[in-house]
A and B are shown apart, each in its own frame.
Chain A
Amino acid sequence: DQQVKQNSPSLSVQEGRISILNCDYTNSMFDYFLWYKKYPAEGPTFLISISSIKDKNEDGRFTVFLNKSAKHLSLHIVPSQPGDSAVYFCAASGSGTYKYIFGTGTRLKVLA
C-alpha cells in the first residue's frame, strides 16, 4: 500500500528549462509535505516543504504546489541547472505523527 507515489522514475530536462516533478498521495490525513534531494553516496537533503493550509510555497528557484482536492503536489525548478541532477523524493506526514512516508523517487537529469 503505497500512500505516496511518484509515478515518473526519471525525467530529463534541458538546462535553463523548467523541471516539474510530481507526487500523488492517498491519505487525506497528511498535512505536511516535503521534498528532498539525494545525490549518490549522500543522505537526502531537505529542499522545501508545504503545509496543507497553503497551496504554494516558493524558495528561490524551487516552488512546491499543493492541490488537496486532487491529493497531488508538484515541485517546479526554474531555471533547471546541471547541479540539480539528483533523485528527488516527496514525503508526507500527518500532524501528531512522527514519521514521514516517502515516495519512491524521481531521478532528474538536467542536460547541459
Chain B
Amino acid sequence: DAGVTQSPTHLIKTRGQHVTLRCSPISGHKSVSWYQQVLGQGPQFIFQYYEKEERGRGNFPDRFSARQFPNYSSELNVNALLLGDSALYLCASSLSGRGGYGYTFGSGTRLTVV
C-alpha cells in the first residue's frame, strides 16, 4: 500500500522565487492537509482541502495557496519566497479530515530559501 507521497523531497530556492510542492494522498483518502514545520517547532496548519474545496486555512499570508485535484492529489504554492519560508512542508491525508481521526503524514519536502 502506497502511503502519502510528496515531491520533491528537497528543494533549494532563492528569495523572491516561487515554489510548487506536490502531494498524493493514500488511495481512498479525500482530505489533504498541509503543515509547515520550522526547526525546533511542531507542525503548523496551513490548509485543508476536502473534495477539492478549501475547508480551513491557518494563519499564513496570501503568498501561500493550494489546490486539490479531482484525483485528490494536491499542490501547495508559495510565491515571493522569504528566508523564513525555509521549513519542512508536510502533507497529511485522511478519510474525512475531521478532528479526532489521525492523519497519515508524508515524509515532507525540505525547502531551503537562500
Contact = CB atoms under 8 A, between A and B. Distances in A.
Interface string A78-101: 000000000001010111111111
B41 A104 contact: yes
Residue of A31, A99, A103 contacting most chain B CB atoms (<10 Å): A99
A103 B42 contact: yes
Interface stretch (B13-21, B61-69, B70-78, B102-110): B102-110
Given A96-B99, A99-B58, A43 B90 contact: yes
* Chief secondary structure at chain A's binding surface: loop
Given A44-B43, A89-B42, A99-B48, A32 B100 contact: yes
B44 A102 contact: yes
A46 B4 CA distance: 13
Interface residues of B, number: 28
Contact of B103 (A97, A100, A101, A105): A100
A93 B101 CA distance: 10
A-B interface, 3 closest residue pairs, ranked by CB to CB distance from nearest: A102-B42, A93-B99, A43-B105
16 contacts: A31-B99, A34-B102, A44-B43, A49-B102, A93-B99, A94-B99, A96-B99, A97-B56, A98-B33, A99-B33, A99-B45, A99-B58, A101-B45, A102-B43, A104-B40, A104-B41
Interface of B: 4, 33, 35, 40-45, 48, 50, 55-56, 58, 90, 92, 97-108
